[in-house]
Structure 1
Amino acid sequence: MLILINLLDLLVGLLYLAIIAHWLISLGAVALDHPALGKFKAFMDRALAPLYGPIRRFIRPVNGFDLTPLVAVILVGLAWSVLSRILGLLV
């Protein structure tokens, strides 16, 4: 069970990194001069669409600023906190 918790913790950490990387690229903080970064952004758009889609139905951009990644990080953190406590009780 501990291996499962550690694996899920790793996956949540990678999801955090993906959300932050996608957010930085979307803000323009990372230049997309290299073709590989354009492909990476397209991949991240497709990979994070299932997570962002339901959030975007409820949270609209504020003055052109998309709050979806921030809300996604908070929701993933809350879900992981609850799930890790439940799994911790089973150990």
Structure 2
Amino acid sequence: MGSLILVLLFILKIVWFIVIAHVVMSWLISFNVLNRHQPLVSNIWYGLERLLEPIYGPIRRILPNMGGLDLSPLVLIVIIYALQTILIRNAYAFM
């Protein structure tokens, strides 16, 4: 059972890195450092969007409308951190 917890923690860490990459890339696109018309940037952007939109969608429906500010990545990072903490703190119960 301990190995299952390690796998879950690893998956949460991968999702965390993907969210951070998506946030940084959105900032770089917003400040015109990256151009979405370049094929590599476009492929990476749409790949990240397709991966994260099923997760962001339910969070966006719960959050109030903040105008142009999207807080769903921040909420997802907090959820990931909470899940990691819960798994680590309760790992002894599964062993």
TM-score by length of 2: 0.78
Q: Does 1:19 align with 2:19?
A: yes
Q: Does 1:31 align with 2:45?
A: no
* Structure 2 residues without counterparts, runs of 5 or longer: none
Shift of 1:61: 5.3
Tell me, yes or no, if the aligned pair for 1:55 and 1:68 is still in contact at 8 Å: yes
Cα distance in 1, alignment partners of residues 44 and 64 from structure 2: 25
Shift of 1:18: 0.4
Q: Does 1:43 align with 2:38?
A: no
Shift of 1:26: 1.6
Question: Between Structure 1 and Structure 2, how many residues are aligned?
Answer: 91
Cα distance in 2, alignment partners of residues 31 and 22 from structure 1: 13
Backbone CA RMSD of aligned residues: 2.1
Cα distance in 2, alignment partners of residues 32 and 19 from structure 1: 20
- State the match for 1:88 in structure 2: 92
Tell me, yes or no, if the aligned pair for 1:61 and 1:67 is still in contact at 8 Å: no
Tell me, yes or no, if the aligned pair for 2:5 and 2:87 is still in contact at 8 Å: no
Q: Does 1:69 align with 2:73?
A: yes
Structure number with bigger Rg: 2
Change over 3 Å in CA distance of 1:61–1:44 after alignment to 2: farther
Cα distance in 1, alignment partners of residues 83 and 41 from structure 2: 30
Cα distance in 2, alignment partners of residues 32 and 10 from structure 1: 32
* Structure 1 residues without counterparts, runs of 5 or longer: none
Report % sequence identity: 30
Shift of 1:60: 4.2
